Amino acid sequence: MRLEKVQLRPLEGIKILDFTHVLAGPFCTRLLADMGADVVKVNSESRMQINAPAGPYFTMWNRNKRTISLDMNHEPARKVAGQLAQMADVVIDNFSMGVLDRWGIGFDDVSQVNGKVIYVQMSGMGSGGPWSNFVTYAPTIHALAGLTYTTGVSGRENIGLGFSYNDHQAGLHAAVAVLSAVEARRHSGKGQRIDISQFEVAVNLLGPTFMHYFRNDQPTEPSGNDLQYDRIAPHGCYRCKDSAVDGEVSERWIAIACLDDAHWNSLCDAMNRPDWTKDLQLETAEGRYVQRRYVDEQIGKWTSEFDPLILMEELQGMGVPAGVVQDGRDLMENDPQLQESKFIRTIEEPHPRMGEIYADKLPIEFESTSCEIYKRARLLGEDNESILSDWLGIDKETVQKGEEDGYFR
């Protein structure tokens, strides 16, 4: 009888003890779990307000993980957490600075026993500095880092991004840090402590802003859809023909970006505007930028007669960079690219409280180590027995007693 070889995911065998909450940290560990790491999510009844297992955040960002309930207000729970940390490859948290140390399970304590452990601390402001103890969430990080200001519209600098952009960026940085530290450990045999400032991650996204300041001694101003450092036009969003769905009329828009003369000439052909190709004021990128308000107005009049999807495909076919401004319905129901890649798929096991749930797939394709496993987020303490047995060899009766005594909850 021929045995079929089991295909392992890239991070099979890596153990991660996950104390993170909300989005940035859980997004990091979700990526690692999708790639096969055994991620053990630590939760408790006392932290349920922002980590409710049936809430949208927990359900979305904690798939493919196992969950253990440890009430860290109790010494027995802290002892078990320390034992888990001694078995872990990676311990990660995004608390304010020093929480794990106060529990007696920080890097200095655990690394004395587990010299290969990697600790990732991804607090809002990082360790040290006058703001290191600040409590931060995406809107405050965006504001402090300059993202709110620089991504706004002139005259409306208070708009901001509207979603937790930097949480995702911080999570990506943390995932890269974990993989880098695991590789470094392969050579040195030693773990290490990693400090990630979510604030500095956000500031790091504004590189050209610093160049502009140092070179021209001027701060970058909000510019809407205009490129901040290149005089390029047209470069914006233009209204198309409105659509009606379920009796509701919705505005539809298309983004068009002409970064060179070839793009511009093709757009002129599409619009049947041969006069523009002969207009000396529009002959160069600089001239088109100077006349951008006039150009935008004329393009907007033209696009208003078209369905955005049809127009996008026609423009793309002529070599003009264009994209429909898609909403959630477009992405989930109508986007042929996402449908082809099966980007949204149903998680096989229904959630015991939310019923049928869905996963957006890991947007990375491994040819030899496929990551096509998607398991639902687990309820509080649902995996207590399996985790404590697998990692620490604790028997079922001891786990049940800990649950009855209140420190496994």
Q: Would you name the residues annotated as active-site residues? A: 167
Contact of 280 with 339, CB cutoff 8 Å: no
Q: SS3 of 183, please?
A: helix
Which spans in 133-260 are helix H? 138-145, 147-150, 165-188, 198-204, 207-216
Instruction: In whole angstroms, give the CA distance from residue 383 to residue 38.
Output: 12
- 375, with CB counted inside 10 A (0-12, 13-18, 19+), is middle
In degrees and rounded to multiples of 5, residue 220 shows phi and psi of: -70, 135
Place of tokens 């872990």: 88
C-alpha 398/C-alpha 53 separation (Å) is: 24
| Rounded-to-5 percentages of helix, strand, coil across the chain | 45, 15, 45
Contact 239, 300 (CB under 8 A): yes
Separation of alpha carbons 31 and 92, rounded Å:
13
